[in-house]
Amino acid sequence: MKRSRRAAVLTAMLAASLSAAQAQSALPVPTPFSLTSPTPRSGVPGQLVTLTFRLEGQGRYDLSVESPPGWVPITPRAQLDLSGQTLFPVTFRIPAQAPAGQVPITVRAQQGGQDVMSAESNVTVQAKSLVGLSSPAKVEGAAGVFLKIPVDVVNLGNQTDTFDLALENVDSRPQLSARSVTLKAGERTTVQVSLILSGISPDYHYTTYVLATSRLDSAVLARTRSEIIFGAGTNRTGGGAANSGPSLLFKVRSEAEVAYQRSDQGDQVDWGYSVHASGSGQLSDSVEAAASSEVGGDQAAALPSTLSAQLELRSETWSAQVTGSSSGVSVAGSVQAGDWIIAPRAQYQALGAAKRYGAGVDVSGPVAGGKFSASASSQAVTLGEQSQRQDSFGARYAVTLSPALDLSVSASAQGTQSSLRRVAPPLPTDPPADASSPVPAAQPAPTGTPSSSYSFGAQAAQILTYRSGNVDLTETYSASLGGLHTFGVSGGLSSAAPLGLRAAATVQLTPKENWYGVSGLAFFDGGGSRSFGASIGGHYQFSSDLTRASQWQASGGVSSPTYRVKAASFGELSLAATLRAALSSDDNKPLATDRSLGLEVGLSTAALQLRASASAQQDYTNTQQQRDQLSLGLASSYRLGQNEFGAQVGAARVSLDGVPTTTYGGQVSWQRQWSAQLSSALDFSQSWQNNSEGSSARSSAGVSVEGQNVLTPGLSLRASYRLAYDSAKTGPSGSGQPLSQAARVGVSYDLAFAVATPAAVVQAFGGLSGSLVSGTLYRDDNLNGVRDPGEAALAGVTVQAGNQTSVTDAQGRYQLQVSGPQTLSFPSGLSAALEPFGAGDSRRLTGTAGSRETRDIGFAPVGNVDVLAYQDLNQNGVYDADEPGLPYASVRLVGPVTRTVQADSRGHARTTLPLGRYTAALDLTGIAGLSAAAPLQADVQVGAAGAGALQLGAVPFIPKPVLSYKNGAAAIFARLDSETARAGDEVRLDVQLQGADSLSVRAFGQDYPAALTDNRAEITLKVPQHAAPGVYDLVLTASGPSGQKTSSVRLILTPTATTPVGEVTGP
């Protein structure tokens, strides 16, 4: 019984346990927490990137983002109530100068203050090269004075880079203190542009252009320019007072030199002098003139033995030139009649006992949609009883048949008549103009018998050119009465970079034989210093006369990329090489082959330049001797401050039929600019020569000194001395005088002065037109636009309107005769602390004929204002050292005047303003992706000493996504690869969905398809070509089982116009 009870109890307990187990198994099992890292992302500095972490679990979790300094996420912390899966996007704007490489980003999850899990991903920062340049917009200089202009270079990229610096001026007068600089990211330095100009007129303007190019990316460059305004400086100026009408500028340069030489020919003294005078300016409002003359003499003729003069007059419809010298005179001119121009000319010249006469005329104008030009001339030469006349005529017509097809035809004819006697010496003559084949001269009659004959020649030519796309073709044909006919076709790829291809074929027919030729050239040019180049070409020409050898040539070349090597002592070294080779037939020896091979290697640093060369050549002389040549050379230069050192060494070996002659030597030099007025140079050279007759050596040393503006402006002195030794002049066969020496001393003086054109001359050449403008320049201290008692007049200021200038007198008065609409400007004589005050209309002139205009101009005292526009990345309202500038931001200053100035590539802006209180405001309308930050505007007091530096910040505007973590609700996460675009651009839209399985996008009035892969889509949007600048909303609609979600992304379209890098716009 007890056993049965126990069994019943056990059975009941077992049943209860099973029931409890079954009940427990019916409850939901908690989902374990997981935090999954996303795929790494990449981008360039300034770009937005998003890492989307995936979370799964149950309960409330605290999330935090850990990132390096400067990497500030939009959502650094979040608290999520999880019930299943959700997404946590982490969005950053890559810092402006974040270094290239991988940056770790960690998301850490906590629950109840305890770490639960963390996940890490990374953002790969792509390398970015960017450079900024800036220099003073305007600089005042003086002629003959050494000038240095600072140029700031800043590395705006995120990696260490070397920037090659170059001057883009067409002349070589300005010099850079460094040809390249190496800067770390964010680092800046200053280089100098040095310049000295002498012998220039007052108010001369000169602009320097500096270019910086990244060696890491040759497409990254920046430019800056500085305009130099030269005052009177050291130019000697005298004569007249202020010019109130047409004026003339005269210049006189006088030079004298004495030279002494002692050699094996004895002592010799030479001397000479010259005076060169020139004048230019306006004779009236409609006629300009230029004239020059020169006289000179030497020890052979103390009195002036050379005399020449030239005068040129120009107007809008005619011109005239007269040139005269001790040997003759010539006159020429042109007259415009509608669209036609007629230009006659005539000359007379005495050539010893011979006399030359000539006349001609040129005519050009439009005919049947093209341009027609013709020229006719006749020239005669007499010498005693001999005479010769030459006549010529030519015409050309060119017309465009279609946008791709041009045609030109031309013809010319020459005739020569001679009257000669055998007893006379040969007659000096010129070859017929434009003759493509010689014209046979008349054969003289027997001695003492005169003969007269007329020979005639004519030619015609036609050219047809076709250009379309990357291809151009040219066909030519020419013929002459002598029986010469030439056909040619050439063409190739004109714009298919980096490849190039040219080819040509020619056929020439003559009465005796025919010549046929073909040629071609193929080349590759990758562009930039980091790409190699190669070319190969050749030609082949043969005759129908089989007894004549064919002529041919083949050549090729290869140029290497520029390699960069960092050296501790010299900085960065640049290395490049070029190899050239050629084979050709020899003109002097049939069936022989000429060969040549050359190699050049260049090595450079900021201060050092090295160039090595080697070449070998084999050809034949006109006596069919084999000539072998081998040469080696090395040239170097080194610049240190105002010193420039140079060195050259070389060797050459020339063999004629195996008999060698060897020459080798070297030279060293030193040049120094001691001051703006004084410079010197030293050099020494040594050479040796060995041949079958023996050996010889030659040494030479020289020194020279030059001074400008010595004792008085305009006076220059120069002196040089050279000593040479030639061992070949020693020994039994020598002259016994191996030592020679030479010395030179020279002096020059420059004088310039301006005078008003005499009234009689003005009236003789058309008089004055337009209005008489007069007024006063004064200092407007209280900025009321009216001259008040005590406000000083401005004397010595140049006032200019068009080509008319005047200089204010002691009372600040000026007077100008102005023709047509003009604007008053003040190019010189004005203090940098003053600028015109008032509306620009007050300086505009009508120039109406017969009227009078009065313009009193006030000038306001000004001070400098410096502004820094920056990105306030940490949003603290204060500029921090690592925060980048806002390139080309606009800053508006409102006060006594209103002015808008644009920052440079670094975010710096500088301007001058009349003294007073201003409000400076940052204008963000032209810059997308930024919003206001304190202080967006600031008040500033501009005084005579300027104003303190202003700092105006802006916060990067990042659209904050609206996140929904409610389980099962549809959510959209969208981001554009760029917040701004221009008309015609393509932008990429990245979208990630949650709780939805379909997506539609509508932008610019049309729908775009969106294919989803793992709830993600990438859509490329094309901005319409004619879309206007403004703000556009891109509408996204997501649908799924839980419903529909609509969101929008903002795209800002900016204007297409940009400001060139390095330039600062302002007053």
| CA end-to-end distance (rounded Å), the chain | 118
Question: Given a cut of 50, is residue 591 above it in pLDDT?
Answer: yes
- CB count, 10 Å around CB of 241? 11
Give me the residue label for tokens 């946008």.
Answer: 403
φ, ψ of residue 548 to 5 degrees: the values are: -100, 135
Is the Cα torsion angle 20, 22, 25, 26 positive or negative in sign? negative
Range name among 339-353, 478-492, 937-951 with the lowest pLDDT average: 937-951
Confidence band for 640, pLDDT divided at 50, 70 and 90: confident
Range name among 287-291, 461-465, 715-719, 976-980 with the lowest pLDDT average: 976-980
The helix (run of H) or strand (run of E) holding residue 485 is strand 485-493
Which residues on neighbouring strands pair with residue 626, listed in sequence order?
A: 620
Is the Cα torsion angle 800, 801, 803, 806 positive or negative in sign? negative
pLDDT confidence of residue 302: 74
Give the per-residue SS3 of 59-96. Answer: EEEEEEEECCCCCCCCCCEEEEEEEEEEEEEEEEECCC
Percent of the chain with pLDDT over 90: 18
Question: Given a cut of 90, is residue 125 above it in pLDDT?
Answer: no
User: Where in the chain are the domains?
Assistant: 29-128, 131-231, 469-561, 562-589+596-659, 768-855, 862-956, 962-1067
CATH architecture of the domain with range 131-231 = Sandwich (2.60)
E strand segments, 802-856: 804-807, 813-818, 822-823, 834-836, 844-845, 852-854
Mean pLDDT of 961-988: 68
Confidence band for 454, pLDDT divided at 50, 70 and 90: confident
d(C-alpha 797, C-alpha 776), whole Å = 11
Residue-wise pLDDT for 149-165, tens only, equals: 888 888 888 888 889 89
What is the rounded average pLDDT for all residues in the chain? 80
pLDDT confidence of residue 778: 92
Q: What is the token pair recorded at 482?
A: 């002598």
Q: Are 909 and 869 in contact (CB under 8 A)?
A: yes
CATH 2.60.40.1930, applies to 962-1067: yes
* Diameter of the chain measured on Cα atoms: 179
Range name among 712-726, 791-805, 832-846, 881-895 with the lowest pLDDT average: 832-846
Those residues whose C-beta lies under 8 Å from the C-beta of residue 378, and which sit 6 or more positions away, are 358, 359, 360, 389, 390, 391, 392
pLDDT confidence of residue 363: 95
For residue 907, CA distances in Å to 549, 883, 1061 come to 70, 11, 12
Confidence band for 444, pLDDT divided at 50, 70 and 90: very low
- CB count, 10 Å around CB of 588? 14
Confidence band for 827, pLDDT divided at 50, 70 and 90: confident
Q: What is the token pair recorded at 278?
A: 């020139």
pLDDT confidence of residue 413: 93
Between 239 and 74, the higher pLDDT residue: 74
| CA proximity to 385, closest of 454, 449, 456 | 449
Confidence band for 375, pLDDT divided at 50, 70 and 90: very high
Between 287 and 961, the higher pLDDT residue: 287
Residue-wise pLDDT for 917-939, tens only, equals: 888 888 766 555 555 554 566 77
Highest mean pLDDT of the ranges 71-75, 189-193, 343-347, 867-871 = 343-347
Mean pLDDT of 272-288: 86
Confidence band for 1034, pLDDT divided at 50, 70 and 90: confident
Mean pLDDT of 643-667: 90
d(C-alpha 296, C-alpha 998), whole Å = 95
| CA proximity to 952, closest of 879, 893, 894, 901 | 879
Q: Are 620 and 588 in contact (CB under 8 A)?
A: yes
Q: Are 532 and 578 in contact (CB under 8 A)?
A: no
Those residues whose C-beta lies under 8 Å from the C-beta of residue 155, and which sit 6 or more positions away, are 130, 131, 161, 163, 183, 184, 185, 186, 187, 188
Confidence band for 805, pLDDT divided at 50, 70 and 90: confident
Those residues whose C-beta lies under 8 Å from the C-beta of residue 1014, and which sit 6 or more positions away, are none
Question: Given a cut of 80, is residue 432 above it in pLDDT?
Answer: no
Question: Given a cut of 50, is residue 437 above it in pLDDT?
Answer: no
- CB count, 10 Å around CB of 505? 14
Confidence band for 1050, pLDDT divided at 50, 70 and 90: confident
Question: Given a cut of 70, is residue 10 above it in pLDDT?
Answer: no
Question: Given a cut of 80, is residue 970 above it in pLDDT?
Answer: no
φ, ψ of residue 633 to 5 degrees: the values are: -150, 150
d(C-alpha 687, C-alpha 771), whole Å = 71
Give the per-residue SS3 of 988-1041. Answer: EEEEEEECCCEEEEEECCEEECCCCECCEEEEEEECCCCCCCEEEEEEEEEEEC
pLDDT confidence of residue 377: 94
Question: Given a cut of 50, is residue 1064 above it in pLDDT?
Answer: no
Those residues whose C-beta lies under 8 Å from the C-beta of residue 138, and which sit 6 or more positions away, are 226, 227, 228, 229
Question: Given a cut of 50, is residue 88 above it in pLDDT?
Answer: yes
Give the per-residue SS3 of 412-479. Answer: EEEEEEEEECCCCCCCCCCCCCCCCCCCCCCCCCCCCCCEEEEEEEEEEEEEEEEEECCEEEEEEEEE
Pairing outcome for strands 175-176 and 131-134: unpaired
Mean pLDDT of 456-471: 89
Question: Given a cut of 60, is residue 232 above it in pLDDT?
Answer: no
Mean pLDDT of 765-778: 83
DSSP track, 656-721: ETTEEEEEEEEEEEEEEE-SSSEEEEEEEEEEEEEETTEEEEEEEEEEEEEESS-SSTTEEEEEEE
Which of the 8 DSSP states describes residue 20?
A: H
The helix (run of H) or strand (run of E) holding residue 762 is helix 759-764
Residue-wise pLDDT for 513-531, tens only, equals: 999 999 998 888 765 556 7
Confidence band for 425, pLDDT divided at 50, 70 and 90: very low
- Do you find a cis peptide bond into 498, omega within 30 degrees of 0? yes
d(C-alpha 337, C-alpha 49), whole Å = 69
| CA proximity to 457, closest of 420, 428, 488, 484 | 484
Q: Are 118 and 104 in contact (CB under 8 A)?
A: no
Mean pLDDT of 78-102: 80
Q: What CATH fold (topology level) applies to the domain 862-956?
A: Immunoglobulin-like (2.60.40)
Residue type, 27: L
- CB count, 10 Å around CB of 536? 15
Is the Cα torsion angle 943, 946, 948, 949 positive or negative in sign? positive
* 962-1067 matches 862-956 in CATH topology: yes
Q: Are 273 and 296 in contact (CB under 8 A)?
A: yes
Q: What CATH fold (topology level) applies to the domain 768-855?
A: Immunoglobulin-like (2.60.40)
pLDDT confidence of residue 867: 84
Those residues whose C-beta lies under 8 Å from the C-beta of residue 65, and which sit 6 or more positions away, are 73, 75, 76, 77, 90, 105, 106, 107, 108
Q: What is the token pair recorded at 690?
A: 């060995």
pLDDT confidence of residue 223: 84
Confidence band for 900, pLDDT divided at 50, 70 and 90: confident
φ, ψ of residue 17 to 5 degrees: the values are: -65, -40
d(C-alpha 293, C-alpha 314), whole Å = 18
The alpha carbon of residue 115 and the mean position of all alpha carbons in its chain are separated, in whole angstroms, by: 60
pLDDT confidence of residue 439: 35
Mean pLDDT of 1009-1014: 80
Which residues on neighbouring strands pair with residue 988, listed in sequence order?
A: 1020
d(C-alpha 138, C-alpha 835), whole Å = 13
CATH 3.40.50.261, applies to 29-128: no
d(C-alpha 903, C-alpha 438), whole Å = 67
DSSP track, 116-129: EEEEEEEEEEPP--
φ, ψ of residue 797 to 5 degrees: the values are: -95, 130
Residue type, 915: L
- Do you find a cis peptide bond into 935, omega within 30 degrees of 0? yes
Residue-wise pLDDT for 592-616, tens only, equals: 899 999 999 988 877 788 889 999 9
Which residues on neighbouring strands pair with residue 1016, listed in sequence order?
A: 992, 1013
pLDDT confidence of residue 440: 38
pLDDT confidence of residue 343: 93
| CA proximity to 253, closest of 236, 274, 231 | 274
